[in-house]
Structure 1
């Protein structure tokens, strides 16, 4: 399967380099220099992934990411010249799956694109559509990447799904924040562990009453009663 990737970057030189490297790896690329053009593409031919610059003319990357997340959990890799911690956290909180700071290695971008697609691809999951994991009132359809809470399907992002799946596979186990960062964001993520706290807040807001507990000074666990094990 050839993945279609939308590249949104207003720097022509960077856009050409990113496009060339990704096409060399066999991806189909549609490159644009504005979020408005990207939105038109989304409404006509939805890409399998976005590589999204933040500083864009007109609608910026944050606003575009927010609009996409209202409709889909399609993977988004954010690239930006801004290196402040708050910008990384904001990008991830709005639903970005990864974050690269300019200047970056095109090979590093290619590696991250492949890793995110591998993590989110149904074809490579190795599961059948009937694979299900239940933890109390939480039901996870693994291969379909769908979440049901108390019988109602919930719209979630890629990272919200990944955290719920990890915790549900190991109920009652306390995970330190550092391990959650490694498992969900990857070993090369160098941001603050506040990203974990923000992710947990979003999950709790969407799945009201979920027994996702804070282990003070350590991390988090998904509590599961003994009779449900």
Structure 2
């Protein structure tokens, strides 16, 4: 049974969300101490977090960043804010999905099932694999780290997802849309510039372990990882 932590200061709405999810077999926990949401997360170890943005003390973006220092557990923002910038901010700060209030509970459950499948279930490519090897480049699935010629470094979550997606399609063009889906599972929340920035960071990380000019830009199409280190 998955534990869902609900970070919602509207007690009535929080209780409604809790009751609905428990009817469908989820275990839930309503946060009460909004001054220490990070501590609540550490104490309860939830599998998924439903996070409002407008909260007492600090906003949901702040708490999302705090949780990301500890865990990659899925975080779904549930907020009345509906601008594109709010949704971009949610993703940029480590969120996995976004639901705008008011919402249907069918949509809430669908989003919840989706992030659980991607993180823990049949849609997760990383669950049963620990190491992916590619011509001497070792990709450590459970660590978000890579190693080449005895040089090992840790990647950010986004850098790792990008590299893994490119590595699974070595010497093939991977479209920008596919890479955006690999990163955030919803292309409308992220623009092309954000993807370009993360590709640049990944190139630098590969150079740090001695792999240079391995990611080629295919204008108008996407990117390709070239096996030029073998």
TM-score where L is the length of structure 2: 0.80
Please show how residues 46-195 of structure 1 align to structure 2 within 5 Å. Answer: 46-121=45-120, 131-135=130-134, 138-142=137-141, 144=142, 146-150=144-148, 151-154=151-154, 156-157=156-157, 160-186=159-185, 190-194=188-192, 195=194
CA distance in 1, matches of 2:90, 2:136: 30
1:27 aligns with 2:26: yes
Q: Does structure 1 conserve the Cα–Cα contact (< 8 Å) formed by 2:33 and 2:40?
A: no
* CA–CA distance in structure 1, aligned partners of residues 109 and 127 of structure 2: 28
Give deviations 1:86-131, integer Å, cap 9, x for gaps.
Answer: 2211211111111112222221121111111111116875878564
**Paired residues, number:** 223
Runs of 5+ unmatched residues, structure 2? none
Residue of structure 2 in register with 1:43 after alignment: 42
The answer to whether the Cα contact below 8 Å between 1:8 and 1:34 also exists between their aligned partners in 2 is no
Rounded to whole Å, the distance in 2 between the matches of 1:113 and 1:161 is 23
Q: 1:219 aligns with which of 214, 218, 222?
A: 222
Distance in structure 2 (CA, Å) of the matches to 1:120 and 1:23: 20
> In 1, Cα distance between the equivalents of 2:36 and 2:74?
18
With structure 1 as the length reference, what TM-score do the two structures score? 0.80
Name the CA distance, whole Å, in 1 between partners of 2:16 and 2:54: 18
CA distance in 2, matches of 1:126, 1:200: 21
- Larger displacement relative to structure 2 (35-44 or 98-107): 35-44
The 1:49–1:200 alpha-carbon spacing in structure 2 relative to 1, beyond 3 Å, is farther
Root-mean-square deviation (CA, aligned residues, Å) is: 3.0
Cα distance in 2 for partners of 1:97, 1:67 equals 15
Alpha carbons 1:140, 1:146 under 8 Å: kept: yes
Inter-partner Cα distance in structure 1 for 2:35 and 2:68:
16
The farther-off stretch of 212-221 and 51-60 is 212-221
